[in-house]
Amino acid sequence: MTLMKKPLALLLTLTLTLALLASASAETAVLYQSDFSADTDGWYPRSLGAAAIELTGEGALKITGRAGDWHSPGRDFELTAGETYQLKVDVRQGDRPEARFILSVAHSKNGVESYENLAFANAKQGEWTTLEGVYVAGDFDRNVFYVETYSAGTLDYEIRDFVLIGEKPEYETETIPALKDVYAGRFDFGTAVTFNEALSKDRMAFYGSQFNIFTPGNELKPDSVLDVLASQQLARDDETAVAVKLNAAAPLLSWAQLNGVKVHGHVLVWHNQTPEAFFHESYSFAKPLVSREVMLGRLENYIRAVMELTEEKYPGVIVSWDVVNEAIDDSTGKLRDSRWLQIIGEDYLARAFEYARKWAPEGTLLFYNDYNSALEPKLTGIMSLLESLMAEGNIDGYGFQMHHDVAFPSDAQISAGLKRVAATGLLLRVSELDVTIPDTSEATLQKQADKYGAIMRMLLEYPNQLISVQTWGVQDNLSWRASQYPLLFDAQAQPKPAFWAVVEAGQ
């Protein structure tokens, strides 16, 4: 039921809704709310036919007859691409001591359906449990929100008080300092942007006012770029052939091209978010792994295809690449056991950089990127890898991810890691900066600001090597670590103390 059908008195009784509204800016509004007091209001059972829904008479909707976790109560919603939505729903089950629930969205474009998980919660037997999530709408023809289970496919359960809030932050594009200007002449200041974020004209205008280099969050990773079906067709004649596509990265790359903004490419070679089919004969899971020779051919052809297609469609936009990401194991400092290592061997990194140098447009900078650079034995393993890559002369620099917590690693550890890597003479970039905190009390926000400020001051000690600093996201609520408030702007896109600490460090 829409908000207009609900009396104001009823709305005022919904405590969580009020809490959400109180924390939101003036540009938020309750778009939908249902208490299931009269009818199912468009909700239906998502299943193969066995599941059914019914009203309980207590303002709740119950689903029964489920035969799989995805069998769930769902409802279609009209959403605007690029806009942000807050969601909340209560769930209750009475059959198990505890069950895992997921608030998800099924979205479709031209008949092709895909899915995202937005929130998770464990519901104890007989207790109402709240799931809350944030969704930035993509460019889809259809959006269905639903509540499913994890490893509890036959469980009956109820939902109540589903609330959808539209959120349009009041972006500050002129009244606060621009980080790109604060550090102008020293290094670029940027951030990561997802596909859905890039669809919003207002959001991108705000991002563009602050930053002058961007990284696609997921959209240039192999699982977004490798076209497995087209590659299967090509493999009939040549097992080393590779097909690629840029659909997911197109909104950001197009925006950057139109606005004359740099993009850093992330990432060509990674053990994660790479289709398993890439490593099998005929690109088929059912067939054996390919030989070293075939995998080397695929590696070069993939890198070549990515470089050629990005330069053809977006010439000059991508100025640098993470060639390889996270190849060092945390606990041993040795190469991580991955398909790349298993099939090609230890020289897969050297070959990746060789091919990237061969096919990258002239002037493109090539980086190795990793996390936990301040910790041992990881740091020693990174140093050994960098030295071996430098010997072949195809690497330009190192990317520090810097996914830190306000209390760990220590400033001394971060400083020591920076100093050790900088001693190689390589270019330096901070690729994925964020700093988590446990709450948003004034004291804790100040500690976060102090940490950000300390990191920036350390980085400024390397003026001849540091070329960019990029946070991994802009707003806390859109971060992959949203529950720990890690970024420079809050959920309403307002600058936090951490933002002002970064500004102060650069003045």
Question: What CATH number is attached to the domain comprising 7?
Answer: 2.60.120.260
Contact 211, 259 (CB under 8 A): no
Q: How many CB atoms lie within 10 A of CB 230?
A: 15
Q: Answer yes or no: is 261 within a domain.
A: yes
Domain count, the chain: 2
Q: Answer yes or no: do 244 and 352 share one domain.
A: yes
Question: Do 326 and 475 fall into the same domain?
Answer: yes
Whichever domain contains 384, its CATH number is 3.20.20.80
Report DSSP letters for 404-429, one per residue. EETTBS-HHHHHHHHHHHHTTT-EEE
Asked whether residue 256 is assigned to any structural domain, the reply reads: yes
Has 432 been annotated as catalytic?
yes
Residue 445 lies in a domain: yes
367 neighbors 397 (Cβ within 8 angstroms): yes
Q: Which of 157, 148, 144 is nearest to 61 (CA)?
A: 157
Of 116, 139, 167, the last residue of a domain is 167
The CA-based angle 428-433-439, given to 5 degrees, is 155
- 379 and 331, same structural domain? yes
Per residue of the chain (507 residues), what is the pLDDT tens digit?
A: 222 222 222 222 333 333 343 344 446 788 899 888 888 988 999 998 889 999 998 899 999 999 999 999 999 998 988 888 999 999 999 999 999 999 999 999 888 889 999 999 999 999 999 999 999 898 898 999 999 999 999 999 999 999 999 877 888 888 899 999 999 999 999 999 998 899 889 899 999 999 999 999 999 999 999 999 999 999 999 999 999 999 999 999 999 999 999 999 999 999 999 999 999 999 999 999 999 999 999 999 999 999 999 999 999 999 999 999 999 999 999 999 999 999 999 999 999 999 999 999 999 999 999 999 999 999 999 999 999 999 999 999 999 999 999 999 999 999 999 999 999 999 999 999 999 999 999 999 999 999 999 999 999 999 999 999 999 999 998 899 988 999 999 988 999 999 999 999 999
Residue 243 sits in the same domain as residue 285: yes
Decide if 148 is catalytic: no
The torsion region of residue 16 among left (phi > 0), alpha (psi -120 to 50) and beta comes to alpha
- Answer yes or no: do 123 and 250 share one domain: no
Please report whether residue 174 resides in a domain.
Answer: no
Residues 229, 292, single domain; the answer is yes
Residue 173 counted as domain residue: no
Question: Looking at the domain assignment, is residue 172 inside a domain?
Answer: no
Question: Would you give the end-to-end CA distance of the chain in angstroms?
Answer: 52
113 and 247 in one domain?
no
**Is the same domain home to 72 and 154?**
yes
CB 263 within 8 Å of CB 318: yes
144, 167, 190 - which closes a domain: 167
- 77 and 49 in a single domain? The answer is yes
Helices (H), 281-410: 292-313, 339-343, 348-359, 378-392
Q: Examine residue 481 and state whether it is found in any structural domain, yes or no.
A: yes
Task: With beta carbons less than 8 A apart as the criterion, state whether 224 and 270 touch.
Answer: no
Q: Which of 27, 432, 461, 504 is catalytic?
A: 432
The length of the chain in residues reads 507
Q: Are residues 136 and 199 in the same domain?
A: no
Helix, strand, coil percent values for the chain (each to nearest 5): 30, 30, 40
CB atoms within 10 A of CB 215: 27
Task: Print the domain residue range for 37.
Answer: 3-167
Q: What is the pTM of this model?
A: 0.82
CB 320 within 8 A of CB 365: yes
> Does some domain include residue 428?
yes
Integer angstrom CA distances of residue 493 from 73, 202, 255: 33, 12, 20
Tokens standing for 373? 């650079």
Indicate whether 361 and 338 sit together in one domain: yes
For residue 110, the Cα-to-chain-centroid distance in whole angstroms is: 24
| 418 and 285 inside one domain | yes
Among 326, 346, 376, 387, which one carries the catalytic annotation? 326
